[in-house]
A and B are shown apart, each in its own frame.
Chain A
Amino acid sequence: MSKYMVNLKINNIPIAVEEGTTILDAAKRLNFHIPTLCNHPDLSVAGNCRVCVVEIKGARLLAASCATPVSEGMEVFTNSEKVRIARKHVIELLLSEHNADCTKCFKNGNCELQDLASEYRYGDHVFIDLVPFSKKFIDISSPSITKDTSKCIRCQRCVRTCAELQAVSALAVINKGSQQTISTFLNKPMNDVVCTNCGQCINRCPTGALYERNYIEDVWNAIYDPNKFVVVQTAPATRVAVGEDLGFEPGNRVTGKMVAALRKIGFNKVLDTDFTADLTIMEEGTELLTRLKKAIVDKDETVKLPMMTSCSPGWIKFQEHMFPELLPNLSTCKSPQQMFGALAKTYYADKINIKAENMVVVSIMPCTAKKFECNRPEMRDSGFKDVDYVLTTRELAMMIKQAGIDFEKLEDQQYDSILGESTGAAVIFGATGGVMEAALRTAYEIVTGNEVPFTNLNIKPVRGMEGVKEASIKIKNAKPEWSFLEGVDVNVAVAHGLANAKRLMEAVESGNTNYHFIEIMGCPGGCIGGGGQPIPTSPEIRRKRAEAIYEEDMGMPIRKSHENPEVAEVYQEYLGHPCGHQSHELLHTHYVERKRF
Chain B
Amino acid sequence: MEQKHLKRVDLIFEWDEKNTPINVLDKTLQKTPDAIILEMIDSGLKGRGGAGFPTGLKWKFTRNEDSDVKYVVCNADEGEPGTFKDREILDRVPEKIFAGMAICGYVIGAKEGYIYLRAEYNFLLKSLQQKLDKFNQQLKERQVDFTIFMRSGSGAYVCGEESALFESMEGKRGEPRNKPPYPTVAGYNSKPTVINNVETLVYTCEICRMGADKFKALGTSDSRGSKVFSVSGDTTKPGIYELELGMPLRDFIDEFGDEDAKAVQVGGASGHCVPRKKFNDTIIGFEGIPTGGSMMIFNSTRSMYNVLHDYLEFFNEESCGQCTPCRVGCQQLLKGIEAVKKGERPPQYLEDLKKLTLTMKIAAKCGLGQSVANPFISIVDNFREEIIY
Question: Does residue A292 face the partner (Cβ distance < 8 Å to B)?
Answer: no
Binds B, one of A58-66, A238-246, A356-364, A541-549: A58-66
Closest to A90 in B: B324
A180 CB to nearest chain B CB (Å):
3
Whether A176 touches B319, Cβ cut-off 8 Å, given contacts A62-B363, A93-B325, is yes
**Once bound together, how far apart are the Cα atoms of A126 and B348, in whole Å?**
12
* B167-218 CB contacts (< 8 Å) to partner A: 173, 175, 178, 180
Interface size on B, residues (CB 8 A): 36
Question: Does residue B362 face the partner (Cβ distance < 8 Å to A)?
Answer: yes
| Residues from chain B with Cβ under 8 Å of A173 in the complex | 173, 175, 321-322
| Residues from chain A with Cβ under 8 Å of B362 in the complex | 60-62, 82, 86
Tell which of A50, A153, A179 has the most Cβ of chain B within 10 Å: A50
| Residues from chain A with Cβ under 8 Å of B331 in the complex | 97, 130, 178
| Residues from chain A with Cβ under 8 Å of B317 in the complex | 176-179
A265 CB to nearest chain B CB (Å):
42
Asked if B339 contacts A128 (CB within 8 A), the reply is yes
Please report the number of residue pairs spanning A and B whose Cβ atoms sit closer than 8 angstroms.
Answer: 114
Binds B, one of A41-49, A440-448, A480-488: A41-49
Question: Does residue A201 face the partner (Cβ distance < 8 Å to B)?
Answer: no
| Residues from chain B with Cβ under 8 Å of A177 in the complex | 315-321, 327, 330
Asked if B319 contacts A86 (CB within 8 A), the reply is no
Closest to B344 in A: A128
B319-361 CB mask vs A (1 if < 8 Å, else 0) is 1111111011111100110010000000000001001101100
Partner pick for B356 among A47, A48, A89, A156, CB 8 A cutoff: A89
Asked if B320 contacts A64 (CB within 8 A), the reply is no
Asked if A61 contacts B321 (CB within 8 A), the reply is no
Asked if B319 contacts A89 (CB within 8 A), the reply is no
Closest to A93 in B: B328
Question: Does residue A535 face the partner (Cβ distance < 8 Å to B)?
Answer: no
Q: Secondary structure of the A side of the interface?
A: loop
Whether A128 touches B173, Cβ cut-off 8 Å, given contacts A86-B363, A178-B321, is no
Asked if B156 contacts A85 (CB within 8 A), the reply is no
**Once bound together, how far apart are the Cα atoms of A46 and B328, in whole Å?**
17
Asked if A64 contacts B178 (CB within 8 A), the reply is yes
Asked if B352 contacts A50 (CB within 8 A), the reply is no
B87 CB to nearest chain A CB (Å):
23
* A81-103 CB contacts (< 8 Å) to partner B: 82, 85-86, 89-90, 93-94, 96-97
Closest to A127 in B: B332
Question: Does residue B158 face the partner (Cβ distance < 8 Å to A)?
Answer: yes
**Once bound together, how far apart are the Cα atoms of A458 and B323, in whole Å?**
48
Tell which of B317, B332, B356, B364 has the most Cβ of chain A within 10 Å: B332
Asked if A180 contacts B178 (CB within 8 A), the reply is no
The 9 A-B pairs at the shortest CB distance, nearest first, are namely A180-B321, A93-B328, A67-B178, A89-B359, A177-B319, A48-B322, A47-B178, A86-B363, A178-B316
Chain A to chain B contacts (Cβ below 8 Å), 11 pairs: A45-B178, A46-B322, A48-B365, A50-B324, A61-B370, A96-B328, A97-B327, A128-B336, A176-B319, A177-B316, A178-B330
Q: Which residues of B are interface residues toward A (Cβ below 8 A)? A: 156, 158, 173, 175, 178, 180, 315-325, 327-332, 335-336, 339, 352, 355-356, 358-359, 362-365, 370
Besides the known contacts A48-B323, A86-B362, A177-B330, 13 further A-B residue pairs in the complex with CB atoms under 8 A apart: A45-B178, A48-B322, A82-B362, A89-B356, A97-B328, A154-B327, A173-B322, A176-B317, A177-B315, A177-B327, A178-B330, A180-B319, A180-B320
